Amino acid sequence: MIVKVDFPDHPKTLKLEELGGPGAPMWCIRIWGYCQIKRTNRFRNTDEYFTNSGMRTVFRIRNKNVMPLNILKDCGFIREEGDMLVVHDWDIVNKRMVASYNNGAKGGRPPTNKTHGFSSGYGQVKTHSARARQSTESEYEREKPNHEKTESDCSSGEALNPEAKPDPKTQERAAEFLKELSQKLRSGEPIT
């Protein structure tokens, strides 16, 4: 929420302070906060917040004779448009925030064709993150699991396809290795 620099000394604020008391400028800040929560500056006359009694409760005004809605209208902070109450210029002062809300509802900020300082004839320069994404994707493609591997193709820990036919030479080497290993274990030789 943006509060303009001249808010405390603005003629409308001074009039508000005169009619509502020294705490009255806080009323505007509370209303602007409500606009930010609701993401709009237009409200129906039937909104409980925009009644004198509702505002007295929210603004913590104990005096039942104070009519904050009427005072805010007299000072120009709220205006009526048909059956709507409009918080004056909140959407203009906070136009960046309103634009973010609108873009977010459409899926985010529209893409830009930035050239990173080069004229448009050179085309867009790839950023580091784009290169990083490409390298990650290519690494993934290289490391895609192949479920048709056999025992000779697999390193330790990879799952085998039970339907794949093992290579006969690999089976012979595995049998010889197991035979040597069992002989070393029986004889007490160190296994290297």
179 located within any domain = no
Q: Give residue 71's Cα distance to chain centre.
A: 38
132 located within any domain = no
12 located within any domain = yes
118 located within any domain = no
C-alpha closest to that of 40 among 87, 103, 79, 84: 87
163 located within any domain = no
User: Once rounded to an integer, what is the mean pLDDT over residues 161-186?
Assistant: 79
Residue 154: both structure tokens together: 């697999």
Q: Let me know: does 1 contact 33? Beta carbons within 8 Å.
A: yes
Residue 2 confidence class, pLDDT cut points 50, 70, 90:
confident
How many domains does the chain contain in total?
A: 1
- What is the tens place of the pLDDT at every residue in 47-71? 888 899 999 999 999 999 999 999 9
Q: What's the domain range around 70?
A: 7-105
User: Once rounded to an integer, what is the mean pLDDT over residues 124-138?
Assistant: 52
What CATH number corresponds to the domain at position 71? Answer: 1.10.10
C-alpha closest to that of 60 among 113, 109, 21, 11: 21
pLDDT at 35 over 60: yes
Determine the Cα–Cα distance for residues 131 and 137; give it in Å rounded to an integer. 10
Q: Let me know: does 76 contact 82? Beta carbons within 8 Å.
A: no
Residue 115 confidence class, pLDDT cut points 50, 70, 90:
low
138 located within any domain = no
Q: Is 81 helix (H, G, I), strand (E, B) or coil?
A: strand
Residue 42 confidence class, pLDDT cut points 50, 70, 90:
very high
- pLDDT above 90 covers a percentage of the chain that reads 33
Tell me the whole-structure pTM to 2 decimals: 0.53
164 located within any domain = no
Position 74 scores a pLDDT of 95
Residue 21 confidence class, pLDDT cut points 50, 70, 90:
very high
pLDDT at 5 over 60: yes
74 located within any domain = yes
The residues facing 87 across adjacent strands are 78
How many residues are there in the chain?
192
Position 171 scores a pLDDT of 82
